[in-house]
Structure 1
Amino acid sequence: MACWLCLVCASPLAAQEKWELRKHTDGIAVYTRNLAQATVKEIRVICELPGTTAQLVNVLKDVEHHQNWVYLNRKTQLLKKKNPNRLVYYTEADLPWPLTDRDMVVEAVFSPISQNQQAQVEVKSVLGYVPEKTDFVRIPSSLAVWEISPVAKGRIKVIYTFSVNPGGSVPAWLVNATVATGPHNTFQNLRALLQKQANQ
């Protein structure tokens, strides 16, 4: 899925710099890096979470409950289930002033969980499905990649990388000042959700 984590802007053709650690608290490390021809950052989150690969994959597939843990998510709606591992959904972000709220349509592709319990999820913007709305800026392109692997019984490691062209006007100073907040909050919420499931 594509989080509303940081409002970053990235060009896939841009030269990439090294990752810089921006925040590392509560076991959640948030990195950013500059991209050529972009004024704001791409992000990466690395952390360990309770649960199994299958449990996290099921949470990611439960798109209509993403608002329970994704930072700034107003709503998410499943549009089409091409097959159990290929979903198209629409999502809205309730952004703080002075930013205009964003929306987008994405397709999530879930790789089969391997024998060693590793999985990858790629979430990419797609065109069509939902007409553009006057109260939102439609995000033209985004890419989120989840890499999931077990590290111990009942624990998994997640590497999450996200880049987006948010469209419209986005003040770089505002984004760069708060770039680590959204990712950290999102993964705190995700951890709490998985822990609650583990306790039930």
Structure 2
Amino acid sequence: MITNKPRMMQSNRTGIFKRLLINTMLLMLCPMFAIAQQSDTQEWRVVKSKWGIEIATRPHANGYKYVRAKTKVHGSQTDFVKLLDNIEIGPDWIANCKKVELIASEGQSVRVVHTYFKAPWPVKDRDMVTRSNTVIDEHTGDITITVVDYGQNVAAADKHVRMEAVHGTWSLRTLAENEYELMYEGYGEPAGKIPLWLANQILVSSTFDTFVGIKKQLNLVSP
């Protein structure tokens, strides 16, 4: 019995050390979970409202911002889908867009698109690759387009920095006859060396300009 005591004491010390290690790791992780949860539950804050377009943001845990934009549009629900499908005029309404390329499509609803953006010197131009899925409610005609990052499947463009973690949702909801609410909620990281404040500032301005471009294409605004 006496000869087993050192082993028992060593085993106890090992068990205590493991428990302390686990508890320490949990204590270290708790603030991280709290920050993530806080950013997910924070309310949207309206940062711009003009020409019937409202832009709101809320913080991500890493300092970047989620963005939400919404406006009212009139006409046919399919007008917006046709606008998205016409990639040749993408630079006419997408802010800072140089070119849009259709890489692949699956039926009428799924598309993989490569979008190129110009940036002011000395910031490098950006590009992103996304996969979108369009769903049209057969009863209401409401449209939902889910966008996810697809950049890991396509080689980066020369002299461009690939944007990361891009995802979002477009929705077109019926308000009244021939009147709809167009909304976008999304997130993306510019990657590369751009200060957070500048990235978030560009996010707001480019989202607003894109919505102005949409309304111009639909002949709903003449700023």
Give the TM-score range, shorter chain. Answer: 0.7 to 0.9
Matched, 1:24 2:46: no
Aligned to 1:66, which of 67, 72, 90?
A: 90
The structure, 1 or 2, with the larger RCO (C-alpha pairs under 8 Å, 6+ apart) is 1
2:146 maps to 122
Give the Cα–Cα distance (whole angstroms) in 2 for the partners of residues 40 and 130 of structure 1: 24
Structure 1: segments with no counterpart, 5+ residues = 1-10
User: Alpha carbons of 1:179 and 1:132: their partners in 2 closer, same or farther (altered >3 Å)?
Assistant: closer
Aligned to 2:206, which of 182, 186, 190?
A: 182
Give the Cα–Cα distance (whole angstroms) in 2 for the partners of residues 134 and 19 of structure 1: 36
Q: Is the CA contact (8 Å cut-off) linking 1:126 and 1:141 kept in structure 2?
A: no
Q: Is the CA contact (8 Å cut-off) linking 2:151 and 2:162 kept in structure 1?
A: no
> How do 1:1-200 and structure 2 match up within 5 A?
15-36=40-61, 38-127=62-151, 130-195=154-219
1:5 maps to none
1:97 to partner: Cα distance: 2.8
Structure 2: segments with no counterpart, 5+ residues = 1-35
Larger radius of gyration: 2
User: Alpha carbons of 1:91 and 1:177: their partners in 2 closer, same or farther (altered >3 Å)?
Assistant: closer
User: Alpha carbons of 1:122 and 1:78: their partners in 2 closer, same or farther (altered >3 Å)?
Assistant: same
**4+ residue segments displaced more than 3 Å:** 11-16, 127-130, 176-179
Task: Out of 184-193 and 50-59, give the one that drifted further.
Answer: 50-59
User: Alpha carbons of 1:72 and 1:152: their partners in 2 closer, same or farther (altered >3 Å)?
Assistant: same
Residue identity (%): 23
Give the Cα–Cα distance (whole angstroms) in 2 for the partners of residues 12 and 155 of structure 1: 36
1:159 to partner: Cα distance: 1.6
2:6 maps to none
Q: Is the CA contact (8 Å cut-off) linking 1:64 and 1:78 kept in structure 2?
A: no
Give the Cα–Cα distance (whole angstroms) in 2 for the partners of residues 12 and 128 of structure 1: 27
Aligned residues: 185
Give the Cα–Cα distance (whole angstroms) in 1 for the partners of residues 165 and 37 of structure 2: 10
1:82 to partner: Cα distance: 1.3
Structure with higher helix content: 2
Give the Cα–Cα distance (whole angstroms) in 1 for the partners of residues 88 and 168 of structure 2: 18
Q: Is the CA contact (8 Å cut-off) linking 2:39 and 2:59 kept in structure 1?
A: no
1:113 to partner: Cα distance: 3.6
Q: Is the CA contact (8 Å cut-off) linking 1:76 and 1:92 kept in structure 2?
A: yes
Q: Is the CA contact (8 Å cut-off) linking 1:43 and 1:162 kept in structure 2?
A: yes
